[in-house]
Chain A
Amino acid sequence: MNPPSALIAEDEPLLADALRQELQRAWPELTIAATVGDGASAVRQALALQPQVLFLDIRMPGMSGLEAAAELMEVWPVAPGSPAFPALVFVTAYDQYAVQAFDAQAVDYLLKPVQADRLARTVKKLRLALENNAQHAPQTVASGTTETAALEATLAQLRGLLGGAGGPPQTPASTLTHIQASVGNTIHMLPVTEVVYFEAADKYMRVLTAQREYLIRTPLRELLPQLDARTFWQIHRSTVVNTAFIDCVTRDETGKLWLQLRGRPERLVVSRLFAYLFKAM
């Protein structure tokens, strides 16, 4: 087996250096493939370098560590023979809620300042996980698109960390019955039951019915809790679909799930984060 490699994403240069040094001491055979200072670079470099471990600072400019992890999961290759998804370790100075969520232990976390003995524990855990991965790798490849239980757990935890999206349904403030969408000088009262899907686009939300498209300003984050969680499923960072209009779900050769809709010609991609929603009974 090749020596394991890691990627460090940390926007404060001194802290990135310090983590690199501490890691050298705690895990001499680990090579640091790269150090980056923001979330988008972390995704890019992780794809390019395919390290076994990712150390992700949570608060970074642009894209947070959590968002970077979710994004990476979308784009990580799943074709047979492709490398396993890296083990994730989040690093944070103080995020009390996140730390609570981390205690579920599917992914590990480190608190800044990082202390040697705590890092040693993380390293031990990572080594164990990598060994397991190596043993199970052939099986994973054979089953092709099946994700390991560990990755499934990581996905579930990321969903929780990213603000409960797709997690347990939050108690809605009040359920919307109509979407008020303005077109010119008119405000259309659009029953939500007619909406096929919502899609976030830059500054607007696109609201698509079988006949036409409306634009509203309410961000997805605010809209989602007001929708009936049994009918409206988030299937992607930027997409919420009305299940009544889903015709069928197909998996392509790369393992991606696609939704075929009733009343709309386009197909919608389901992100891996939300693929768990679609399983044959």
Chain B
Amino acid sequence: MKEIDMTARYPNHQITTRPVGAFHVRPGAFHRKSLPLVRGPRHNPETMNQSPNLRRVLLAVVFNTAIALGITTFGENGLVVNLVYSQCIGLCIWGLIDFGQYLFIANFQTQKQRLFWLVPLGAALGYLVGTTVAGALLSHSVYGYWMDQPSKALGFFLVSLSAGGVITYFFLSREQLAHAREEMARTQAQAEAAQRQAAESQLKLLQSQLEPHMLFNTLANMRALISHNPEQAQQMLDHLVAYLRATLGSSRTTLQPLQTEFARLRDYLELMAIRMGKRLNFTLDLPPELADVAVPALLLQPLVENAIRHGLEPKVEGGTITVQAHLDQHLLVLDVKDTGVGLPPEGSTPGFGLAQVRERLSTLYGPQGTIEFIADDAYHTWARVIFPVKQP
């Protein structure tokens, strides 16, 4: 820009600076239109419409003055003449681009390509109008200048145009960058919130399964077994390890063969059987042809844990848990029954484990995945889970 300043007879250079003034403004303008919900006072609509406008005008005036001073120092003419040209051209260009933007670019993201004609047009028109106004004010003949040194005048005109374009591009990309950054921050915040929610749900699930009471009682049993029945202690430890590995390690989004699911249930029930002694009997009934049917990992676990915790543990004489699987056409039917104290009175809220089973069924199978409780005299709680068999 400097070269222009030094040689210009007329302070065309403002063209280059004007967009600077205009585009300083822009940040606010873009945001108001495309990002209504972003943070900070900068985006407050009031501050945008009032003070930034005044600030923009002042900025433009300051720039124009600076250029006039530059031209006076290095070029021809007196300060007053340069100042008049500088302000006239600069303010015209600024006004045209700013106003044009306001008129034609309502949504920056979708309409930004309009800048490609708006900026050159604004610059060219502003330059012409500005020189004419300044010429009139100072009684100079603009026409005469163009006639005397046409190539020089045209050169300045073109250089001003391209400089305007470059500066526009500079501020544009800066804006884009800021915009992208904000967009990224927003997506990140959303992702973090979702992640936090998932982690909380996972934690809640773990807490419900790795209940300290269950763990410490199991460990206490193991400690008791070590001295007088090391072999059984070892078996119990193996079951605990398998149970912990399944509970801690399994991703609940995966499917696993039904026989693996039953093996995990057996681990848990074996542990509980050692603890509860003859108060707990259990039967796991898996027809061999269903062994490889894919089921959501640990789907039945909460139901079996409920049967123990709310069904059999509170019952003095204990009882029996039965887990069965059968096929009803294309539907897999899984039953968890116990002879415990029965369902809690109606109206009480279902536990987290049950809610989780429901949620997983509906996520995976929609309305085809159901859980229901069957009234039966022999079994006080009978939960039946039904969902379509997934063809491998």
Contacts and interface: CB of A to CB of B under 8 A. Distances in A.
Interface of A: 11-15, 17-18, 37-38, 40, 59, 61-62, 93-95, 111-114
B316 A18 contact: no
A113 B275 contact: no
B220 A61 contact: no
Contacts of B278: 13
Nearest to A63: B316
B41 interface: no
Given A61-B318, A113-B219, 8 more contacts: A12-B220, A12-B277, A14-B275, A17-B224, A18-B220, A18-B224, A61-B279, A93-B216
Contacts of A15: 217, 220-221, 224
B179 interface: no
A34 to B, nearest CB: 16
A61 B219 contact: no
A61 B315 contact: yes
Contacts of A18: 220, 223-224
Interface in B213-236: 213, 215-217, 219-221, 223-225
B175 interface: no
B310 to A, nearest CB: 12
A114 B316 contact: no
B274 A62 contact: no
A114 B274 CA distance: 18
A93 B225 CA distance: 17
A12 B223 contact: no
Contact of B276 (A12, A17, A40, A112): A12
A14 B314 contact: no
13 contacts: A12-B221, A12-B275, A12-B276, A13-B277, A15-B221, A37-B316, A59-B313, A62-B316, A93-B216, A94-B216, A95-B213, A111-B216, A114-B220
A35 B3 CA distance: 104
A12 B316 contact: no
Interface in B192-245: 212-213, 215-217, 219-221, 223-225
Contacts of A113: 216, 219-220, 223-224
B20 to A, nearest CB: 64
Contacts of A17: 224
A94 B277 contact: no
Nearest to A62: B316
Interface residues of B, number: 22
Nearest to B347: A217
Given A12-B277, A14-B224, A14-B275, A61 B316 contact: yes
Nearest to A96: B212
A167 B274 CA distance: 39
B224 A62 contact: no
A93 B215 CA distance: 8
Contacts of B224: 14-15, 17-18, 113
B346 to A, nearest CB: 12
Contact of B279 (A11, A40, A111): A11
Contacts of B274: 14
A95 to B, nearest CB: 8
Residue with the highest number of chain A CB atoms closer than 10 Å, among B224, B313, B318: B224
B315 A12 contact: no
A93 B315 contact: no
A93 B221 CA distance: 11
A40 B315 CA distance: 12
B275 A61 contact: no
Given A12-B275, A113-B223, A93 B217 contact: yes
A151 B219 CA distance: 34
Nearest first, the 3 closest Cβ-Cβ pairs linking A and B are A18-B224, A113-B220, A93-B216
A243 B177 CA distance: 74
A211 B72 CA distance: 108
A200 to B, nearest CB: 15
Contacts of B215: 94
B235 to A, nearest CB: 13
A217 to B, nearest CB: 10
A17 B221 CA distance: 10
A65 to B, nearest CB: 13
B314 A112 contact: no
Nearest to A59: B213
Contacts of A61: 279, 313-316, 318
Nearest to B278: A13
A239 B275 CA distance: 37
A244 to B, nearest CB: 33
A17 B229 CA distance: 13
Nearest to A15: B220
Interface string B336-367: 00000000000000000000000000000000
B40 to A, nearest CB: 41
Interface in B302-345: 313-316, 318
Contacts of A38: 316
A175 to B, nearest CB: 24
A13 B315 CA distance: 15
A120 to B, nearest CB: 16
Residue with the highest number of chain A CB atoms closer than 10 Å, among B213, B217, B275, B278: B217
Nearest to A57: B217
Contacts of B279: 11, 37, 61
A249 to B, nearest CB: 36
Given A11-B279, A13-B277, A14-B274, A112 B316 contact: no
Nearest to A58: B213
B212 A40 contact: no
A61 B310 CA distance: 10
B212 A93 contact: yes
Contact of B225 (A14, A94, A112): A14
A167 B212 CA distance: 28
Contact of A93 (B213, B313, B318): B213
